[in-house]
Structure 1
Amino acid sequence: MRKRHIGAEQGAGGHTSPAHGSTAASRRAAARRPPAAQARAGRPRDDGPDAAVSRIDRLRYLDAATRRIARGMDLDETLNELCGAAVPAFADTAFVHLYAPLPTGDETATAPGVLRLHAMDHAPLPRTAAPGSGPAAPGAGPVQAAEVVRPTAAGPLTELLEKGRPVFADTPGSTAAAAELLRSPHALRALTGRRLIIAPLHGRNHVMGSVVLVRGPDRHAFTRDDLLVASQLATHTALGIDKSVAFAREASVADALQRTMLPPSLPEPVGVVLASRYLPSSRTAQVGGDWYDVIPLPGNRVALVIGDVMGHSMTSAAIMGQLRTIVQTLAGLDLPPDEILHHLDEQAERLGSEHTATCLYAMYDPVLHRLLISNAGHLPPVLLHADGRTEVVEVPPGAPIGVGGGDFESTEMHAPTGATLLLYTDGLVESRASDVLTGVEHLRTRLREAASSSTVAGLEDLCDQALGTLGLGDREDDVALLAARFEGILPETVAYWYMAPRPQTARQARRLTRRTLHDWGLDSLVESTELLVSEVVANAVRFASRPITLRLLCTDVLRCEVEDDSAIIPRMRHARLSDEGGRGLFLVDQLARRWGATRVSSGKVVWFEQPLPDDRA
């Protein structure tokens, strides 16, 4: 059990500070005030000839105090508001002790009976400072860890908490419970004369701890009516703690669910550097529908995807997961971006028309330095050039996914080497204080400043600059950001040929491969690569009816791709001793570091990779 002790202690010499209105002079001034003025001062009257007025004062105080406690949205805020409402208006010191971990729902504490004590003054708890946010506010009381208290299972403290009623520490049982709970000398001195109340914190299903309220010797002792006040303070605090713990847990589960639907890591394709950011909304515990993805394609191309399902709910997250899976499947077919969005729209209609989504699909070719983009109602990407210029990429918006009947277009453009393409969701550029157009302009300004700053070293720093203050403060919506810096592939590291599907094509492929590897200084790989190319090309000749494409690419590995118009994917099998064939893919599997086969819209691509020699790696 985690035990927090929130204490608002008296000042030196046993007196509270003048700011709290608890000095002798302030008490004499308060005694001269009419009852209504005392109520306005926030301190309920403990005595006086007019008991009805005293009860009204208590009701007014309780109304203000419970409203204040209800304002807390998380655990620290709830405990801060309780401390501020109780001290000095009702008590001179307030302690809160919580089980750690706090029970939630039908669960029980994993370490029952352990109370961890913390202390602070009645000033607000300092929030955890974000990097660069500056020092904590003046006067904020620090939280200090104290000893661990282990009440016995059948001891007086456990029995008192289970009963759930506030008590004075004026009986042997309650005095023993208070002594077991407290370690403050000031609090222990108040165990006589009804100057200490222990009020258990009972949530909906569990005991969560207690509130201890203490009055000093220079103030009137608690009365029986004050037990009712303490009971109300404890009840509303317990409900607030219940709410904050449940909210925090729901937000944690929602955030974990959202993140599991996003890529755990980005691939590292040749010719492009990638970075991403995802920030969940800080104002809702429900998952959103923002997602991004990077999908490697044949020919060293790469697909960049970003989307946003409307709404914040578990259903939005489920729709997002299904749409992301559909996009991955369609991308594997190597379709143009507009066809992918068209098929995605068709599939989304089957999921239900009540949920729409936006999506942008971009395909980057590092060999041709070309970018092909299609948009389904999403915000246009921003292109940051190497010289610091920014531009909003003009792409026909199209209709959102799920509306039906979308007429999507693909826009082809040059992808300059050194330029960075940023894909983002509306949470990055839209807020209550700024519309989308203004937000996009602010984003472009941040990117220009980042490009001209010597402190921005790479793409990760650029993403942080693009987020601005969103990474530190409250966010009204989820934010997804995907950045791709185009590096391209040098033309002299790529060689490709179109060959007719004839019996002599395998011999021709071996000759071209030998000559190219010799030009690249990879003579040590000639023998093995010739054999692999011959086997893959010969297999393609058997099924192809159109010219075959042979492509060699030398980057951090030597990659070979053979494309034909047949959709039949080759499968490796173990040939018998009497078989004349069937050993080609077995050789590929043994000699290549990696290999595979991918269906594309025009047929299939069979590829394999070999590591470069140590002197060329």
Structure 2
Amino acid sequence: MAERDEALLDRVRAMERAIGEIGTTLDETSTCRELAGFLARLLGGSVAVDLFAWQGGPARRAAAAGPVGTGRGMSPEPYGPHTTPDSAPAPAIGPAPAIGPGAAPAPAIGPGAAPGPEGAEPGPAHVLTAPLAVDDEKPLGEVTAARTGRAPFTVDEAAVLRHAARLAARHIGHARRLAATEDTALHLQRALVAEPGRPHPNLEIAGGYLPAGPRALVGGDWFETVRLHFGRTLLVVGDVMGHGLDAAVDMNAYRTVLREVAATDLPPHRVLRHLDSVVAEDDARRPATCLLVRVDPARGAATFASAGHLPPAVFGADGSAELVDLPVGPPLGTGVGGYEPTTRPLTPAETLLLFTDGLVERRSEDIDVSLARLAALRLPPDPGPGQVVDEVLRRLGAHRAEDDVAVLAARVRARHTT
């Protein structure tokens, strides 16, 4: 009885170790490698993990650990231990067999089966398998363990293998669902940012959006242009707090409301005030920062209003940069209001740059230092919107930024007189 109690205690300890060692990342290949490595150490043999193809077709070998041979002789009996005759060679975990979800297992290894590793000791070969599945969910793959020259797999070892397989399946499923959500959010973000409103022909614009890496959760960064009366254009850049699909959806809601409010031709600070009050009524909406700039080419002026957003920069004809000094109100969604306008000249020789904080902010760095880095840039003379966007993104290392980056540049087109 004491021996059985010790065996059960060993099983519990092994399961606890599995929880700590399997699924440490959101990468399914890493999870498969962790599963294979854990079982190889625990069971003292070879372990292979095969993942089924998403759209059918043969499985792929995702990971293997332990003494791996070159043959294809890995044809275990599912869900339990299996022992080959004493005369059979040791099993070799080779390339993944052509199996798929719901496929029947291949015949068990017997005399004359594919050879095992060169120099393997003769003796019974024991094979153990389990599906990568959680309860009644569709299996994502299969894990196979094999060893030779030792006692058959015990019931406790089989239980730990099934537990580890279920644990890995849970992590892989989470990783795949997260990847699908990220992909949806990223496509939504790019679709929205890629098609801003149409400015007046007297304004030249360029924009860009960069997510913070392929596996980072997409944020709520966005930009927009709204065509107004009398040749004016409203430029907008905003950043919804947080990341993921919810942030992208809220970003679209902000953008929709802003278009409706801006169509009333209110000055920028009143647009922000109205937008703030509308959003504050919906508790489900996330707060957001926003910067509005109404450009009036006929008067050669730009009027600014900020809701918790970083100031824009203006690049002169000599390529030097200047940050616009303007009052900053609270973020949108607070219901506090208090937004003030600032107007300054804007000539055809100057290019205005609006951006989200991901362009300049760096971890453990004061924001004033980050903004000073932007202000210190010296671009080639007479930079247009496209060149400003490209140069700023490159020189500030935006492709390696820790957060999403959205930028919008604009320049008044010079009027040619005859």
TM-score by length of 2: 0.75
1:410 counterpart residue number: 341
**Quick check: 1:277 aligned with 2:209?**
yes
Change (3 A) 1:208 1:170: farther
Q: CA RMSD in A?
A: 4.1
In structure 1, runs of 5+ residues without a counterpart are 1-49, 102-109, 124-146, 148-155, 493-519, 521-617
Is the Cα contact below 8 Å between 1:194 and 1:221 reproduced in 2? Answer: no
Q: Alpha-carbon deviation of 1:178?
A: 6.9
2:394 equivalent in structure 1: 465
Aligned positions of 1:55-94 closer than 5 A: 60-88=13-41, 90-94=43-47
Q: Within the alignment, does 1:341 sit opposite 2:277 as a pair?
A: no
Which residue, 127, 138, 142 being the options, matches 1:210? 142
**Inter-CA distance 251–398: structure 2 relative to 1 (3 Å threshold):** same
Question: How many angstroms does 1:238 deviate by?
Answer: 1.5
Q: Taking structure 1 as reference, are residues 384 and 307 closer, same or farther at Cα in structure 2, changes over 3 Å only? A: same
Which runs of structure 2 are paired with 1:143-292 in the superposition (5 Å)? 165-168=79-82, 170=84, 176=107, 186=117, 193-204=124-135, 205-215=137-147, 217=148, 220-224=150-154, 225-264=156-195, 267=198, 269-279=201-211, 285=217, 288-292=219-223
> How do residues 345-424 of structure 1 correspond to structure 2 at under 5 angstroms?
345-352=276-283, 355-424=286-355
Q: Secondary structure of 1:100's partner?
A: coil
The structural deviation recorded for 1:97 is 1.3
Offset at residue 280 of structure 1 (A): 5.7
The question of whether the paired residues in 2 share the 8 Å contact of 1:277 and 1:463 is answered with no
> In the TM superposition, what is the alpha-carbon distance from 1:274 to its structure 2 partner?
0.9
Flag the structure with larger Rg: 1
Q: Tell me what 2:59 maps to.
A: 116
Q: Give the aligned partner of residue 98 of structure 2.
A: none
Q: Deviations over 1:94-133 (max 9, x none)?
A: 22111210xxxxxxxx53xx3232366659xxxxxxxxxx
Number of residue pairs matched? 384
Between the aligned partners of 1:408 and 1:491, the Cα distance in structure 2 is 37
Identify the residue that residue 12 of structure 1 maps to in structure 2.
Answer: none
Q: Distance in 1 between matches of 2:374 and 2:81?
A: 59
**SS in structure 1 at match of 2:140:** strand
The answer to whether the 8 A contact 1:71-1:78 is kept is yes
- For residues 255 and 180 of structure 2, what CA distance do their matches in structure 1 show? 26
Q: Deviations over 1:243-267 (max 9, x none)?
A: 2122222222333344444343674
2:82 counterpart letter in structure 1 = F
Structure 1 residue 460 displacement after superposition: 4.8
CA contact 2:32–2:63 (8 Å) conserved in 1: no
Identity %: 28
Residue 484 (structure 1) shift: 1.1
Return the alpha-carbon distance in structure 2 between the equivalents of residues 296 and 408 of structure 1: 22
Alpha-carbon distance change, 57 to 396 in structure 1, aligned in 2, over 3 angstroms: same
User: How many angstroms does 1:206 deviate by?
Assistant: 1.5
Letter in 1 for 2:53: A
Change (3 A) 1:356 1:245: closer
Shift of 1:362: 0.6
Letter in 2 for 1:118: R
1:115 aligned partner, one-letter code: P
**Partner-residue secondary structure (3-state), 2:59:** strand
SS at match of 1:226: helix
C-alpha displacement at 1:316, in angstroms? 4.7
Between stretches 329-338 and 427-436, larger displacement belongs to 427-436
SS in 1 for 2:25: coil
Q: The residue matched to 2:186 in structure 1 has which SS?
A: helix
CA contact (8 A) 1:367 1:491 kept: no
Offset, 1:290: 2.8
Alignment partner of 2:22: what SS? helix
